[in-house]
Structure 1
Amino acid sequence: MSADFWAGYVSGAAGILIGNPLDLVKTRLQAGSGASTSDISSAQFSPQAFRGHFDRAGTLVRGATAPIIGYGALNAILFVTYNRTLEFLGDTPTVPNNLFKVWCAGATGGLASFVVSTPTELVKCRAQVSIDNTNSWKIAKDVWKREGIRGLYYGGGITCVRDAVGYGFYFWSYEWCKQTLSSPTDTDGQSAMKVLLCGGLAGVATWASIFPLDVVKTRVQTQLLHPALRVEGERGSLLQPEQGANSSPPRNRLSTFEIAKHAYQSEGSRVFVRGLGICSVRAFVVNAVQWAVYEWMMRLLRQP
């Protein structure tokens, strides 16, 4: 396989290993009304909040199995698609000249990664929100058994939109930052530091641009684990919560629009930025490392 495939895979797996503890807190904040988020809704960064989430050593990597495998593959597909699309558009991936083409190539990569990102995100989010220590493999097995492949792609529409928009800005912001800060006189050490900085800033810019979509996506994919939700609208139905991982799914599920509407009506507009602070910290660290690993792997694999 190509160098960018393996560089993307390794960098994606490295990012998950580093960022999973903060991602767990972010997901629980986004998921809302469950008991697991009540202890930190007003104090995201307090020591008590973190202790409440990391109640045992295993919690630090809860939900990480699916992303380590899945996100590595996702990142590989993302970078390969981005590079090939940029070449197809007549630009050079190593030093692109047109930032609009960079955005389009990144959005195309995001669309392609949807194949992996939707089931990975669904399993990860349910594992992180679950209060009964259900692991990723059991969740994936139960979803497949009850609903087949369609169940693993639940919430795929909003995930697809989120990935296309987000990765468009991801590559655009990274290349813009890199071109702005880079200089022909940079030493190897200076270049490495600038890659870390540009990668971190790109991660923050990306999540800031799509965070409301991600909040809704998380709630769509974890709604079976929530307490009952009463929705006003055409259905006017009551969603019954899922009682354990092996229970039958509820009769009705809320659409993406209904989830967003209910969140706004019950918690106000601030719900769509809940967890953005800790997500930004995670995004900076994870994406700084990811870009540094990717650039290093590309240089290593391209050596004769």
Structure 2
Amino acid sequence: MSADFWAGYISGAVGILIGNPLDLIKVRLQAKDAIGAQTATAYARQFEGASSLITGTAAPVLGYGALNALLFVSYNRSEAAINNALSLSPNLWTTWVAGAIGGLATWVVSTPTELIKCRAQLSSPPQSSWAITKQILRREGVRGLYFGGLVTALRDSIGYGFYFWSYELSQQLMVSSTKKEPSLAQDAAKVLLCGGLAGVVTWASIFPLDVIKTRVQAQTLDPEARPLIENPRKPYRRLGAIEITKEAYKEGGARVFFRGLTICSIRAFAVNAIQWAVYEWTMYELGERKQRTIPDPL
């Protein structure tokens, strides 16, 4: 396996473990009525047991580690291929395109991972990721694991385009403003800051899509159980992304598509700061760290 595969896998798994508690709140805020009273007490109740801190992490740790590995490998290969084919030096436009291609390539892993994670985090009583996976396979087959795949692919493609673009932009701007060789501590601080900013920019750019994705995937196909999201027209027919969008807008207007953004931004900064630091450190240890230059205006 290549260096960027292992760096991506390790950093992805670490990111999930660190960010899961806040991700739990984000998903429950996005799903209709999952947290009824949005008060400090209501938030505290999300973590009444120690197990709640890792609710829904089994699928993401395995899946997101693989997803992050696939993402970085696809991104690095796509950027090199685009620049070589067009005889370009690395620039921010090709960075965004390569990131979008990398994000789209993760669809095969991200859709079932997100689906299982969302349902595990919203289930009551709590269910394990494996139990939910077996339920989906039994009722819908493998196809059921890819419910909500289109909106997930759109979210990932746009989001990861901005993810790599914002990280490279902030890194390059810092390189251009540095007058002397930075120390190890300064270099680490820059990676943490740039990684954190990249996470916030990414989620801000695609948060409405993520709300729609969560609401789409939270719908179950079980006539014997109360749906996670009620369908006002037909109790056991799941809504598509466009229908979900219309229903959500009727529920709370445009504000509903940004519910949970504050929590998500805090989580995104912390998780991606550490995730990029782990990635860069692993690449450095494997002798593959990327050298950055002053931004190309193209």
**TM-score (norm. length: structure 1):** 0.88
- Where does residue 294 of structure 2 map in the other structure? none
SS of alignment partner, residue 124 of structure 2: coil
- Where does residue 23 of structure 1 map in the other structure? 23
Q: Structure 2: give runs of 5+ residues left out of the alignment.
A: 221-226, 289-298
Equivalent position to 2:69, from 49, 64, 76 = 76
SS of alignment partner, residue 223 of structure 1: coil
Distance in 2 between residues matched to 1:89 and 1:135, nearest whole Å? 42
2:281 paired with 1:296: yes
2:223 paired with 1:223: no
Distance in 1 between residues matched to 2:231 and 2:95, nearest whole Å? 41
Alpha-carbon distance, 1:277 to partner: 0.1
Amino acid at match of 2:21: P
Alpha-carbon distance, 1:229 to partner: 2.4
2:157 paired with 1:164: yes
SS of alignment partner, residue 130 of structure 2: helix
Alpha-carbon distance, 1:21 to partner: 0.3
2:35 paired with 1:37: yes
SS of alignment partner, residue 238 of structure 1: coil
Q: CA RMSD in A?
A: 1.3
Equivalent residue runs for 1:1-304 within 5 Å: 1-33=1-33, 36-40=34-38, 43=39, 46=40, 48-90=41-83, 97-182=90-175, 183=178, 184-224=180-220, 225-230=227-232, 237-239=233-235, 250=236, 252-302=237-287
**TM-score (norm. length: structure 2):** 0.90
Aligned residues: 275
Alpha-carbon distance, 1:227 to partner: 4.9
Structure 1 outlier segments of 4+, above 6 Å: none
Deviations 1:128-164 (A, max 9, x none): 0111111100001110111111100000000000000
Alpha-carbon distance, 1:50 to partner: 2.7
8 A contact 1:39–1:52 mirrored in 2:
no
The share of aligned pairs that are identical, in percent, is: 58
Deviations 1:169-205 (A, max 9, x none): 0000000001111335211110110000000000000
- Where does residue 247 of structure 1 map in the other structure? none
8 A contact 2:56–2:129 mirrored in 1:
yes
* 1:267–1:186 CA distance, 2 compared to 1 (3 A): same
8 A contact 2:9–2:66 mirrored in 1:
yes
Distance in 1 between residues matched to 2:23 and 2:136, nearest whole Å? 22
SS of alignment partner, residue 200 of structure 1: helix
8 A contact 1:118–1:153 mirrored in 2:
yes
Alpha-carbon distance, 1:270 to partner: 0.7
Q: Structure 1: give runs of 5+ residues left out of the alignment.
A: 231-236, 240-249
Alpha-carbon distance, 1:223 to partner: 2.1
